Each structure stands twice: as C-alpha cells, then as structure tokens.
A = this chain, B = another copy of it.
Amino acid sequence: MTQTINTENTQSQMRKGVLELCTLSVLAMGEAYPTEIIDQLKGSKMMIVEGTLYPLLTRLKNANYLTYRWEESTSGPPRKYYKLTPQGVKLLTELENTWDEMADAVNKLLKENKHK
C-alpha cells in the first residue's frame, strides 16, 4: 500500500538534490557543525532534519567534497566542524548553475501555463 501523492510528500521530493546544494552553500560561508547548518537552513525557510543532514554530510565527506575537524565543546560532546574542499567548491558552482537553469525552466513554464 504505497502510492500517495500529496503536497506534503511532494515537498520532500522537491527538496531532493536541493538540500545538497543548500548545505554546500551554507558551508561556503565557512566551517560549521551540523546543528549550526540546520539552524541556518531553518532561518532560510529550508527545512532539514538530523536524519537527513547527517547521512548527507557523510556522503559528501566520503566523496571528498567536505572535510571536518573535531572540536571540543563547552556544552556537550565534541563537534565535527565541516568545511568545503576545493572539489566541494567546484561542485557547489556546478550545482548553482544546475539550480538556476532548472528554476528558470520551471518559472517560465508556470508563467506560460498559468491557469486563472
């Protein structure tokens, strides 16, 4: 029993790929640890949860787009501070282009076919 199409579900689907771009974009400002990244994304109205972000960071790290260093915290366990590698910067640039092109295409289409 699957096959549910609804707005909520589609929102998740739309986030796919974009979350990767958004995470890289946050890290373009400088290193950050997961909770900081989540807070910044929430501040931009881009929802993301731990269960999504942690695996994503691990994938990006394994693919050499990110590195991290441990840092002690005064209020809890040590944190992993992530930052972009040169390849990560390159990937970010490419994904920004991909996003721009797709967003343009969608906006154009929606405008053309606007229903009253």
Contact = CB atoms under 8 A, between A and B. Distances in A.
Per DSSP, are chain A's interface residues mostly helix, strand or loop, or mixed? helix
Interface in A2-24: 3-7, 10-18, 20-22
Interface of A: 3-7, 10-18, 20-22, 25-26, 28-29, 41, 44-46, 59-60, 62-63, 65, 89, 91-92, 94-96, 98-99, 101-110, 112-115
Contacts of A91: 5-7
A26 B98 contact: no
Copies of the chain in the assembly: 2
A106 B21 contact: yes
A29 B3 CA distance: 26
A17 B63 CA distance: 25
